[in-house]
Chains A and B, each alone.
Chain A
């Protein structure tokens, strides 16, 4: 069962990622990225990370991708023009990617003592405890300060996004905008 689910959703993941590169229209790329993120959520579930699976769907496949599709539609982004790209990317970039993948694969395949994932087994085997209990105990006791700091970070990001995306000189153009209405 685990094997079937893994192959199914790993296949979805790879197909989505390749489709993201293949498509020329940004909205198609965005939709295939949603496929990648949703199937990654299923893989998290197989690895016993229920909370992260739900957070992945809500935060990534939900919030972040809504932002992406919103911006694609707002800017009316059309088909991208295929150019040759930079020479540095072709000469240094692609060999570097191949080398990176080869090195990573070699390290992973040579690694000793990697366990195999068993369905329904997470961070703990204690029946009275669960992954979620463990996670919340560490997150809200030991790491409470970093957790609260991320909320401040999100707030700053919202303010920054509004400040950057605001129309230039909107104080001056205030009357102009009401005139547009």
Chain B
């Protein structure tokens, strides 16, 4: 069956990655909750990882996959510190709405 033999062009993976990244940016702009804003950043990181893996496949490059591994480690560290900051913000301001956390706004 020819349908079963069909390969997926890498272009589609890259397009999926671009769309996911854009959705992450949109989420960063429209979300009003500190935690979901942070989740949108994670979504963007994941989208970039997907394009790294796709290009590693294209060039048969191991280092592309290793870069994704390092991005994951840094993202884990970033999530830990970021969520600690969110807890500290909630403790002092008693809110998670980004509109009310405006102490540094001009």
The tally of CB-CB contacts under 8 A between chains A and B is: 239
Assess whether B19 is interfacial by the CB under 8 Å rule.
yes
Contact partners of B31 in chain A: CB under 8 A:
21, 80
Q: How far is the CA of A77 from the CA of B15 in the complex (A)?
A: 34
Interface residues on A, range: 35 or more
Known contacts A117-B10, A158-B80; is A36 also within 8 Å of B60 by CB? no
Known contacts A71-B83, A81-B32; is A6 also within 8 Å of B69 by CB? no
Contact with A along B13-41 (1 / 0, CB 8 A): 11110111111111101111101101110
Q: How far is the CA of A60 from the CA of B27 in the complex (A)?
A: 19
A17, B23: Cβ atoms under 8 Å? yes
Q: How far is the CA of A153 from the CA of B70 in the complex (A)?
A: 11
Known contacts A97-B25, A167-B91; is A40 also within 8 Å of B46 by CB? yes
CB-CB nearest in chain B for A56? B72
Which of A21, A63, A74, A139 gathers the greatest number of chain B CB atoms within 10 Å?
A21
- Choose among A29, A43, A111 the residue that contacts B39 (Cβ–Cβ < 8 A): A29
Assess whether A181 is interfacial by the CB under 8 Å rule.
no
Q: Closest CB-CB distance, A38 to chain B, in whole Å?
A: 11
Assess whether A75 is interfacial by the CB under 8 Å rule.
yes
Q: How far is the CA of A90 from the CA of B103 in the complex (A)?
A: 22
B12, A164: Cβ atoms under 8 Å? no
A52-71: which residues lie under 8 A (CB-CB) from chain B?
52, 55-56, 59-60, 63-64, 67-68, 71
B53, A47: Cβ atoms under 8 Å? yes
Which of A93, A115, A139 gathers the greatest number of chain B CB atoms within 10 Å?
A115
Q: How far is the CA of A153 from the CA of B81 in the complex (A)?
A: 11
Contact partners of B78 in chain A: CB under 8 A:
157
Q: How far is the CA of A48 from the CA of B68 in the complex (A)?
A: 14
> Could you jot down 5 A-B contacts, CB within 8 Å?
A33-B42, A36-B20, A47-B13, A60-B72, A104-B22
B-binding residues in A (CB < 8 A): 1-3, 6, 10, 13-14, 17-18, 20-21, 26, 29-30, 33, 36-37, 40, 43-44, 46-49, 51-52, 55-56, 59-60, 63-64, 67-68, 71-72, 74-75, 77, 80-83, 85, 89, 93-94, 97, 100-101, 104-105, 108-109, 111, 114-119, 122-124, 131, 134-135, 138-139, 143, 146, 150, 153-154, 156-158, 160-162, 164-165, 167-168
Top 6 closest pairs, chain A to chain B, by CB: A157-B77, A161-B84, A80-B33, A116-B7, A165-B84, A104-B18
